[in-house]
A and B are shown apart, each in its own frame.
Chain A
Amino acid sequence: MSSLSALTIHELIDLLDRGVCSSEDVVTEVLSAIDARDERVGAYLDYDAEGALAAARSADDARSKGAERILPGIPIGIKDVLNVKGDTCRCGSRILEGYVSPYDATAVARLRQAGALFLGRLNMDEFAMGSTNENSAFQITHNPWNLEHVPGGSSGGSAAAVAAGEAVAALGTDTGGSIRQPASFCGCVGLKPTYGRVSRFGATAFASSLDQIGPITRCVRDAALLLGIMAGRDPLDSTTVEVPVPNYQEALADDLKGMKLGIPREYFVEGIDKEVEQSIRKAIRLCGDLGAEIVEISLPHTEYAVAVYYILATAEASANLARFDGVRYGARDEGHDPMDLYVKTRARYFGPEVKRRIILGTYVLSSGYYDAYYRRGQKVRTLIRRDFEQAFQECDAILAPVAPTTAYRLGEKIEDPLQMYLGDIFTIPASLAGMCGLSVPCGFSDAGLPIGLQIIGDAFREDRVLRVGYAYEQSTEWHKRIPPIRDDEGGR
């Protein structure tokens, strides 16, 4: 018998509709998967089994009385950076120890309104700063495909939980690749929406001009479903845009006839893992077979993207993280005056990567360096944005690798921050340009680690990237593979 915890949201909705199972059954099985595997995976920081079961029972009750919800009692995992009313929200940091959120993030509120329930907090790199989850202040998360490897980051807990069958779907946030890269490393589907598509209200800010909330799921259709619920203008976030939200599921099709897909020449250069390159090339050929026209394009400023990103993101972060001072919430170390309180609290409760980035961000904004770094970074950002605008004159979507390699071994890059940053070279440019990007499984390395195909779309054209991702997914079997840790399921 196939485990409920292994199904997609769409499959579960079908079973719930037909009365084959209840929401309580689903939650029970997800909880038992967590029980069985999370000791090894380490995806959850904490979860409320009793609360989730109670919420599931009340969803079942509502359904029996005729309530119609899009996500009737579907449990969704939440990255620790998102505020859920009544839950902790530590952002993977000790500095938010003790904080209980008094409000729902808008994306969370919209999912809740649609009937979803939230069973726990998923691990992440502290304040979303990292690509491996090794920067979490609390625990290491392991890649379900090989526990010696990282799940990616910063939404590593979210991707690992979905891959390990410990969550039906999860929310992550993506600033420079933090949804797409862990989805790729864990063999999931991950969608970073266009900047302004999903409200950031309630997502603890890392870099305000880059952050976006998005889904990590088992299939493209589920990502389309969740995006459709979360997307749209929010009066609480001034950067959300008044662009109509299409029915993303209706945009899905089995072929790619009439679509032009661009292959950026700068993304296939030295340094990219051979196995990764082969998988991507194969995926591109398959898209051609599905009817797409494949064209070569150029994104000439790609090589500058990481530098721009580490100026702008850290600068914004240095201000965003100033509020963690031990006065209104969170952890605190006493001092003899307020400044002493700040320096002690922040020194003690921020981890090394967060400190490093706050220092870099403070530096690039400081007197004498603003023009040389911050302002120049903003200007090069314009050049990168123009690269994409030009590219989308020539194609409907861009196909590229998500990352140059498969998941790193634990500890492999922790000593060399620059090498770690350069691993985000393929996801950062689209983030800087504000474009949307989807990660879809497209193969495995000989070592059995997943490889992800990145589909980058023009602003507010999530419908197109989802269509490409769906057509590709439906003509392959990669997304049906399950990691060895799920051998206890007995297959699907």
Chain B
Amino acid sequence: MTRGAGDLMDYRVTIGLETHVQLKTQTKIWCGCRNRFGQPPNTDVCPVCLGYPGTLPVLNRESVRLTVMAGLMLGCRINERSTFDRKSYFYPDMPKNYQISQYDEPLCLGGRLEIEVNGRKKSIGITRIHLEEDVGKSIHYEQSSGVDFNRAGTPLMEIVSEPEIESADEAFAYLTALKQVLLYGGISDCNLEEGNIRSDINCSVRPVEREELGTKIEIKNMNTFRGVHRSLVYEISRQINVLNDGGSISQETRRWNDETGVTEAMRTKEYAHDYRYFPEPDLMPVVLTREQIEGWRATIPELPGDRRARFVREYGLSEYDAGVLSADRNVADYYEEAARASGHFKAVSNWIMTDMLHAMSEGAIPIQEVKITPGALAGLIDLVDRQVINRPSAKRVFTILFEKGGNPADIVEQEGLSQVRDTESLETYIDEAITAHPQSVSDYRSGKKAALKFLVGQVMRLSKGKADPQMALEMLRERLDTG
């Protein structure tokens, strides 16, 4: 099935993504039911979101703000006047059998998202962002299906990209960058397991020499980024194979089968479809003033790309480190607070990149819940810097701080971890080490320099790890070289 890379080179791939993002609000878009995941079926429901006769939608103010914020962060133009429309289609998870959406006057138009694939930067256009309602969920029994409307009415933002994505890797990078921006803005929890981000893919291929686009295939409802990537890898090669074999692609909707790793044509609908959009009479237009939009713009946090560049510039971090630290807004905030408190930018970066992120992933703890405060981390680095404690002790203090929190100086004291740096005590340990290991002494003197390392180790052991290893080394060398 798979062909050589040569085939791929003869074709151009065009991909557009329609990404649905659930907004982080307390309540649903039209009613006061809670917007949350994981409740028993049909418990976060009311007459409005169940589409009972006589009920009416009332727009959640916060859902508008979050959509506009997303638009601003993606460089969109915000429509000062925006309206809602009804989109008709019958489906069991759709309580009213029409979805309230936005057709020709969406909240946001035209934006861009920067992505990076294999070190190459590219900007993908955003066509529009509109606000709509999510539908319910179904489960399937042997003979029937069950519908749960808890999700129905969750505020949903649809972000439509320009067809400027040209590979599976770029699609993956686009979604990753999008998620980062949305997390930064607090727009969505972006929890893929909970279905916060779901994409429909449009994909076509054409021979490089052809001007007009190839026939578009739609792959519906992808809820993992990896799935988007895998399905595109498959679909692109499938389409190229069809064309190579002299066949033609017919416009259709396909479904990704994650288990078998192929896309499958969906059964063609036996019923005619026509969305019959018309203006929603139950909702009034949203009209935003310049001041309101500018007020929101002022609250936009620094975007991940900008922050990464600033980390390199301001803290002298490597591109890589800056990238890791700025990927998550909370981690970046943490880093900056600790770096500012400490002044040792690189040391703070090292601690977070190694010990902190490791311990966090080990315990599956988000940085917001970590017990060690940025101030404590700065304090710990200061203790190392002033040689109050040595590296191994510092690791111990970190572990304690991570688990229990507290003040690093107090922990050093409680645990008796201060470095032994007075020459008198060190002399005692050195005497003891030399006496116990005469062979090592003579080895050193006969030129085996490694023996010195062993003796420093003995001093460390005798001091229960508290000796300043550098001082111990120097004093030992002086003793053996002169004695």
Name A's B-contacting residues (CB within 8 A): 81-83, 89, 91, 96, 99, 101-103, 105, 200-205, 207-209, 235-239, 315-316, 318-319, 322-323, 325, 327-329, 338-339, 342, 362, 365-367, 370, 374
Name 22 interchain pairs, CB-CB below 8 A, sorted by A.
A82-B54, A89-B53, A89-B54, A96-B53, A201-B55, A205-B54, A205-B282, A238-B58, A318-B276, A319-B276, A322-B88, A322-B97, A323-B53, A328-B51, A329-B52, A338-B90, A338-B91, A338-B92, A339-B90, A339-B271, A370-B278, A374-B278
- Inter-subunit contact A323/B58 (CB<8 Å): no
Q: Taking the complex as formed, is B128 at the interface, i.e. its CB lies under 8 A from any CB of chain A?
A: no
- Inter-subunit contact B52/A319 (CB<8 Å): no
- Inter-subunit contact A238/B282 (CB<8 Å): yes
B63 to chain A, nearest CB (A): 14
- Inter-subunit contact A102/B86 (CB<8 Å): no
Q: Which residues of A contact B283 (CB under 8 A)?
A: 238
Task: Return the 6 tightest CB-CB contacts between A and B, nearest first.
Answer: A322-B97, A208-B281, A209-B281, A365-B276, A204-B53, A202-B54
Q: A328-B52, A370-B278 are in contact. List 14 more A-B contacts (CB 8 A).
A: A102-B47, A203-B54, A205-B53, A207-B281, A238-B56, A239-B284, A316-B281, A319-B276, A319-B278, A329-B52, A338-B90, A339-B270, A365-B88, A365-B278
Q: Taking the complex as formed, is B95 at the interface, i.e. its CB lies under 8 A from any CB of chain A?
A: yes
How far is A99 from B50 in the complex, measured between Cα atoms in Å?
A: 13
Known A102-B47, A316-B281, A319-B98; contact A83-B53, beta-carbon cutoff 8 A: yes
A411 to chain B, nearest CB (A): 29
- Inter-subunit contact B147/A327 (CB<8 Å): yes
Q: Which residues of B contact A83 (CB under 8 A)?
A: 52-54
A interface secondary structure, majority = loop
- Inter-subunit contact A328/B95 (CB<8 Å): yes
How far is A102 from B278 in the complex, measured between Cα atoms in Å?
A: 30
How far is A367 from B272 in the complex, measured between Cα atoms in Å?
A: 12
How far is A239 from B283 in the complex, measured between Cα atoms in Å?
A: 7
- Inter-subunit contact A103/B47 (CB<8 Å): yes
- Inter-subunit contact A201/B56 (CB<8 Å): yes
B interface secondary structure, majority = loop
| Neighbour of B90 across the interface among A200, A205, A207, A322, CB < 8 A | A322
How far is A89 from B47 in the complex, measured between Cα atoms in Å?
A: 14
Q: Taking the complex as formed, is B383 at the interface, i.e. its CB lies under 8 A from any CB of chain A?
A: no
- Inter-subunit contact B90/A319 (CB<8 Å): no
For A375, give the chain B residue with the smallest CB separation: B278
B453 to chain A, nearest CB (A): 76
Q: Which residues of A contact B149 (CB under 8 A)?
A: 328
B86 to chain A, nearest CB (A): 5
How far is A147 from B245 in the complex, measured between Cα atoms in Å?
A: 78
Known A322-B90, A322-B97, A327-B92; contact A105-B281, beta-carbon cutoff 8 A: no
- Inter-subunit contact A105/B54 (CB<8 Å): yes
- Inter-subunit contact B282/A208 (CB<8 Å): yes
A349 to chain B, nearest CB (A): 14
Name B's A-contacting residues (CB within 8 A): 47, 50-59, 86, 88, 90-92, 95-98, 145, 147, 149, 270-271, 274, 276-278, 281-284
- Inter-subunit contact B88/A91 (CB<8 Å): no
For B97, give the chain A residue with the smallest CB separation: A322
Q: Which residues of B contact A367 (CB under 8 A)?
A: 274, 276
- Inter-subunit contact A238/B59 (CB<8 Å): yes
B144 to chain A, nearest CB (A): 10
B284 to chain A, nearest CB (A): 5
Q: Which residues of A contact B284 (CB under 8 A)?
A: 238-239
Known A235-B58, A238-B58; contact A328-B88, beta-carbon cutoff 8 A: no
Known A325-B97, A339-B271; contact A362-B276, beta-carbon cutoff 8 A: yes
Q: Which residues of B contact A99 (CB under 8 A)?
A: 53
B412 to chain A, nearest CB (A): 59
How far is A202 from B270 in the complex, measured between Cα atoms in Å?
A: 36
How far is A141 from B54 in the complex, measured between Cα atoms in Å?
A: 24
- Inter-subunit contact A201/B278 (CB<8 Å): no
Q: Which residues of B contact A205 (CB under 8 A)?
A: 53-54, 282
How far is A374 from B88 in the complex, measured between Cα atoms in Å?
A: 15
- Inter-subunit contact B56/A323 (CB<8 Å): no
Q: Which residues of A contact B92 (CB under 8 A)?
A: 327, 338
For A365, give the chain B residue with the smallest CB separation: B276
B470 to chain A, nearest CB (A): 72
Which among B276, B282, B284 has the highest number of chain A CB atoms within 10 Å?
A: B276
How far is A383 from B270 in the complex, measured between Cα atoms in Å?
A: 42
| Neighbour of A322 across the interface among B47, B59, B96, B145, CB < 8 A | B96
Q: Which residues of A contact B281 (CB under 8 A)?
A: 207-209, 239, 316
